[in-house]
Structure 1
């Protein structure tokens, strides 16, 4: 993933926020509240900037995984 150097928050916090926003139908303010419940104080505009910066890279790296599809057959 992109280097998280010079970021105020750790990379895993940024990745959690971006993944939650992209995966679930949630607003930036709701995500801000969820992180606050976990002891992480971050503004919704910061989460917006993270999504704009890291979501395209995350999507690019996970596209191969999503394309594989799911085979429910066990045979």
Structure 2
């Protein structure tokens, strides 16, 4: 069985979609901030499109990245 890409039939390339989702999740950016940043780079993407990308792809990214993250809840105090 052939694995289908989750980006099939999208207007934009997968790397653009993933970049927007990653920036939104990593930095304190609004959807309109991302829309403006992409427009400065010559890409017109509406903020509602970015919202839809985040809703669709963020859970899958988290599921795939979670096992590779290191725990950072060190409760030891330094003194």
Greater RCO structure (CA 8 Å; 6+ sep)? 1
The TM-score normalised by the length of structure 1 is 0.85
Note the C-alpha offset of 1:33. Answer: 0.3
* Residue 12 (structure 1) aligns with: 15
* Residue 65 (structure 1) aligns with: 68
C-alpha RMSD of matched pairs (Å):
1.2
CA distance in 2, matches of 1:26, 1:33: 11
The TM-score normalised by the length of structure 2 is 0.81
Segments of 5+ residues of structure 2 without an aligned counterpart are 73-79
* Residue 27 (structure 2) aligns with: 24
1:52 to 51, 55, 63: 55
CA distance in 2, matches of 1:37, 1:69: 36
Q: Tell me which structure has the larger Cα radius of gyration.
A: 2
